[in-house]
Structure 1
């Protein structure tokens, strides 16, 4: 099945678009793959970082304004996200600037964080400026990580062209495993906390 897919053509043709769309909300996986594609000269590293930064910033801006206008009605309904909401609210109260910058790096906070910040009294201009810096740092770190992962794999496997699709699937699978492990770890912590509070 996969032998008929021209993965190189797909990357070269739709790579930047996929990075932009993927980074609007989440994006770590597609960004790592973009960095690896840049190492293989299928894409260029600076445009990968640029598109990812722009998409990451725009996605968080949309969530910020969603929180600004609808947060008072929307956030109380997100019962499953209450622990994340409480954590972001506490961070904003103690370290507003740091919370805006770091929320995209905290697991489980990427989507809910900007909404909570939007519902707070944080200035839209302040959020815009810090969010832009945070998005650029985030994109640079993950894209560079993918680039150096490509460097390492090339040292181990040699020419990566025959392995591009398996590597991409492997990265996706690894990110899914990490996300599931983090999810169950968070659930276990929540249950332990609930038992201790009884």
Structure 2
């Protein structure tokens, strides 16, 4: 019976909720933006009360606008702000060092693909601003990444929701149940694998960063 009263709410406020949650997450607030997008897309596929094109557009717009807010905050207030308040949003010294190192080596790739990586999704725009990444380049790659991200997860959720809507009969329901279990298991395996790669990447990045000369060493080398 839950869907009886929640459907009108989602149908009326769904697009606003998706936009707001995705925008805030992109700006640096730890909210489930990707989850909001997927749930709205599934709802669109199941009920037809939301237009999937509108869902994708508002999610992409929220991602781009939020990322640019985060970018401007990072550029305006820089490292002092991040070092002082970063822990409140999970941006500790370890992740900060990782982000700085990654932007130094793969700036454009991080801007584009950062939305697909859990550890970078919230912090990528902020760190791009802190590192004084070119705003024009940031806007281009960020917009492209946001549109691709919203399209991939939006279409995927919509197709899944539409399939759920079309299922009929006990055999179909059993098959759907197995499909859901398989999707959840696959998502869990992918997340564990992603976390493992993230840990390895962080460790390697810290090792690489430790080998770089510090400011004093660079000044001494310049004098010599």
Q: TM-score, normalised by structure 1?
A: 0.74
Structure 1 unmatched runs, 5+:
159-169
Question: What corresponds to 2:49 in structure 1?
Answer: 42
Candidates 146, 153, 172, aligned match of 1:142: 153
Q: CA deviation at 1:88?
A: 2.2
Matched position secondary structure for 2:48: coil
C-alpha separation between the residues in 2 aligned to 1:115 and 1:73? 13
Kindly tell me the number of residue pairs found equivalent between the two proteins.
177
Q: CA deviation at 1:75?
A: 2.5
Matched position secondary structure for 1:122: coil
Structure 2 unmatched runs, 5+:
26-31, 170-179, 208-224
C-alpha separation between the residues in 2 aligned to 1:4 and 1:30? 17
User: CA offsets, 1:26-72, max 9 Å, x none?
Assistant: 41111011111221211001110110011011111111111101122
Question: What corresponds to 2:127 in structure 1?
Answer: 116
Counterpart check, 1:68 vs 2:67: no
Candidates 25, 28, 32, aligned match of 2:34: 28
Work out whether residues 63 and 111 of structure 1, in 8 Å CA contact, stay in contact via their aligned partners in 2.
no
In structure 2, do the counterparts of structure 1 residues 86 and 6 end up closer, same or farther at CA, with 3 Å as the change threshold? same
Work out whether residues 85 and 113 of structure 1, in 8 Å CA contact, stay in contact via their aligned partners in 2.
no
C-alpha separation between the residues in 1 aligned to 2:132 and 2:143? 19
C-alpha separation between the residues in 1 aligned to 2:11 and 2:162? 19
User: CA offsets, 1:111-159, max 9 Å, x none?
Assistant: 222111101131112111211111111111111111122133335466x
Taking only aligned residues, the RMSD between alpha carbons, in angstroms, comes to 3.4
In structure 2, do the counterparts of structure 1 residues 138 and 69 end up closer, same or farther at CA, with 3 Å as the change threshold? same
Q: TM-score, normalised by structure 2?
A: 0.67
Question: What corresponds to 2:29 in structure 1?
Answer: none
In structure 2, do the counterparts of structure 1 residues 155 and 3 end up closer, same or farther at CA, with 3 Å as the change threshold? closer
C-alpha separation between the residues in 1 aligned to 2:165 and 2:2? 21
State the structure with more CA Rg.
2
Question: What corresponds to 1:82 in structure 2?
Answer: 93
C-alpha separation between the residues in 2 aligned to 1:117 and 1:65? 9
